[in-house]
Structure 1
Amino acid sequence: MPTRRDFLRLSALATAAGCTLGRTSFAFAAGAPFAYGVQLYMVRKQAPQDLAGILQSIQEIGYTQIELFPLVYTHPAPELRKIVADSGLGLVSAHFDYASVPTKIDYAHQLGLEYMVCPMIPKDQWNLEGFRKAAADFNTWGQSVHAAGMQFAFHNHCYEWAPQGLTTGFDELMKHTDPAYVKLELDMYWLAQAGQDPLTMLTRYANRVRLLHLKDRIANAPTGFIMGPEAKHITELGKGTLNWAAIFAQAHKQGIRYAYLDQDDTALPILESLKENFAYLQTIKA
C-alpha cells in the first residue's frame, strides 16, 4: 500500500512534469496532505554555484516542493522549469520583486506556476499612501495574473503591522484589495514577531490564505515592527514557541496544501538545518 510519503512524492513529480489535471480543485480539498517545500532564499548562497545540486539535496532530504526566488531568473523559463523538474521537486509558487510582477507574468506562466508571490513592498511605501498604492497595484496585477491562469499572493513580514494612526499597513491592504484576486502567503514567524497570533490570522483570512511559510521563534524574544538584525529570533521548527500542531491542524482544516520552510539564517550548516526541520515536520499529525 502506498505510504503518505509515496503519495507526496508522486504528487510532486506530477506537478514537476506539468500535469495539471484537477490540480486546482485538489490543492484546496479539505483533508489533502501537506506538500512541504523550501523557499530558495534559504539556500541563496548555494544556488548560484550549483542550482541543480542543491535542489537534488533538498529532494533527497524528503521535501517535495521548491518555491523560487528572483536570484535564479537569469535562466530562461523553460530551462529553469527543466532544472526543477529534473530534480524531482514540484514547482507551483515563486517570489517576484514588487516592481517586476507585471513584467514577469508571462515568465511565471512559462514556469507552470499556480502562484506569483510578492514578498515585500518597497520600504519607501511603508506609509498609508504607499500601502494604498500597493493595494491598487495588487488589484491590477492580481487580475492580470488570474487572466493568465494563476493566482497572485502577498507574503507578509512584520513591518505591515506598525501603527499608522488608527490603522496598520496590513489592515489597509486587506481593506483595499479584492479577495478574489489578492491571496496571502502567511509567514508564521513574521506574524508572531509583529505580535500577531498565527492561528487567529489563519482563521480570520481563511478566504485568502493559500500558502504558508515556516520558521520557529525562540522563547522570550521581543516583538516589533522593524526589519533588520533586531527582528531575527529564528530557529529550527520545534525549538521555538510557535504552536505548530495547532497551526497545521487549522491550515489542514482550511484546505491549505503548500507549506515552505523559509528559515532566513541558520546556526547549523544549511543541509543539517534542512534535515532537522524536515524530521520535525514528520512528527506533525494534522
Structure 2
Amino acid sequence: MPTRRDFLRLSALATAAGCTLGRLPTAFAADAPFAYGVQLYMVRKEAPQDLPGILRAIQQIGYTQIELFPIVYTHPAPELRRIVSDAGLGLVSAHFDYASVPTKIDYAHQLGLEYMVCPMIPKEQWNLEGFHKAAADFNTWAQSIHGTGMQFTFHNHCYEFAPQGLSTGFDELMKHTDPAFVKLELDMYWLAQAGQDPLTMLTRYANRVRLLHLKDRIANAPTGFVMGPTAKHITELGKGSLNWTAIFAQAHKQGIHYAYVDQDDTALPILDSLKENFAYLQTVKA
C-alpha cells in the first residue's frame, strides 16, 4: 500500500511534470525532463516581504520547483507547505544551516521533503580537523534522516577545495563519509570557481550527486578558494563559460532530475534575471 511518503513524492513529481496524479507516468524515468527550480536564497530580499507573491512570480515564469532557505522557517511546516503548494510549485529540497540540521529533521519531514541540504560548513571548521568533524556529523545526521525516508545532501562552494596538507577539505569529506547516505548537491559555478571541472566532478561522484545548482561564470575570471566579493564572477546562464549542454547531458545520463537556479547576485532586476535564466534553460537539450 502506498505510504504518505510515496504520495508526497508522487505529488512533487506530478507538479514537476505539470500533470495531475491521475495522469502521472508510472515512474520518473531516466529520460524524464529536468524539473527546474529556484533556490529561495536568490530572492532573499523579496521573500520576507511577500513570500506568496514572489513564489507565484517564480511559478509564472515557468519554474516548477522551489528549494527553501532558512529565512522562511519561522512559518510552521504545514503552513509553509501550503504557501508553496498554493503558488503551484513543487517542494522536494531545502537548505538547513549546519548547526540546525539535527534539530530540523522533524520539521523537514513535515514539509514532505526528499532532501535535506547542508549548504555550508562553519568557517571555523575550514581546516583538516574541522572537515573530519563535519564528516562525522554528516554520517550521524544522514543515518537519522534516512530513517525518515529523506536523504542528506551537502552543497559545495569553493573553500572546500583549498589544500589541506596533501588533501583538500572536499576530498576528506568524500573519504570519510558513507556514500550510501551522504549525497551531494553540486554547484556548477562554485566548482569552476575552485578550479575544478564541473563535468568531471559530476561524473566522478555519480553515485552521490542528486541535485544541481546553476549559475554561469564570466569567462577568464580568476579562480580561488576564498569566499566573498572577489569570488563573485556570476552571470546568467548562457552568458558565461560553463558548458551547460555537456553538463546537462551527463546529469540526464545519471538520472538527476532537479536543478535549481541559484544566482547569488544579479545586475538585472531579480525577476528579469530569473526570466533570462529560464529562457536559456529552454534552449538546452540534454
Is TM (by shorter chain) over 0.5? yes
Contact persistence 2:202–2:209 (CA under 8 A): yes
One-letter amino acid matched to 1:187: D
One-letter amino acid matched to 1:202: L
- Secondary structure, aligned partner of 1:189: helix
Contact persistence 1:16–1:84 (CA under 8 A): no
Matches within 5 A, 1:123-134: 123-134=123-134
Match of 2:200 in 1: 200
CA offset at residue 12 of structure 1? 1.6
Matches within 5 A, 1:79-118: 79-118=79-118
Q: What per-residue deviation string (whole Å, max 9, x for no partner) do you get for residues 43-83 of structure 1?
A: 00000000000000000000000000000000000000000
So what's the TM-score if we normalise by structure 1?
A: 0.92
Matches within 5 A, 1:1-286: 11-12=14-15, 26-27=27-28, 29-286=29-286
CA offset at residue 11 of structure 1? 2.2
- Secondary structure, aligned partner of 1:175: helix
CA offset at residue 183 of structure 1? 0.2
CA offset at residue 9 of structure 1? 9.8
Match of 1:5 in 2: none
Contact persistence 1:16–1:89 (CA under 8 A): no
One-letter amino acid matched to 1:11: A
- Distance in 2 between residues matched to 1:16 and 1:75, nearest whole Å: 28
Structure 1 segments of 4 or more deviating over 4 A? 13-17
Q: Are the structure 2 counterparts of residues 233 and 197 from structure 1 closer, same or farther at C-alpha, using a change threshold of 3 Å?
A: same
- Distance in 2 between residues matched to 1:9 and 1:108, nearest whole Å: 15
- Secondary structure, aligned partner of 2:129: helix
- Distance in 2 between residues matched to 1:113 and 1:158, nearest whole Å: 26
- Secondary structure, aligned partner of 1:247: helix
CA offset at residue 114 of structure 1? 0.1
Identity of aligned residues (%): 85
Q: Are the structure 2 counterparts of residues 37 and 277 from structure 1 closer, same or farther at C-alpha, using a change threshold of 3 Å?
A: same
After superposition, the CA RMSD in angstroms is 2.0
One-letter amino acid matched to 2:64: T
- Distance in 1 between residues matched to 2:158 and 2:181, nearest whole Å: 23
- Secondary structure, aligned partner of 1:148: coil
Contact persistence 1:26–1:32 (CA under 8 A): no
One-letter amino acid matched to 2:102: P
One-letter amino acid matched to 1:204: R
So what's the TM-score if we normalise by structure 2?
A: 0.92
Contact persistence 2:142–2:181 (CA under 8 A): yes
One-letter amino acid matched to 2:15: A
Q: What per-residue deviation string (whole Å, max 9, x for no partner) do you get for residues 196-232 of structure 1?
A: 0000000000000000000000011000000000000
Q: Are the structure 2 counterparts of residues 139 and 269 from structure 1 closer, same or farther at C-alpha, using a change threshold of 3 Å?
A: same
Aligned length: 274
Q: Give unmatched runs, 5+ long, in structure 1.
A: 1-7
Contact persistence 2:118–2:154 (CA under 8 A): yes
Contact persistence 2:16–2:35 (CA under 8 A): no
Q: Give unmatched runs, 5+ long, in structure 2.
A: 1-10
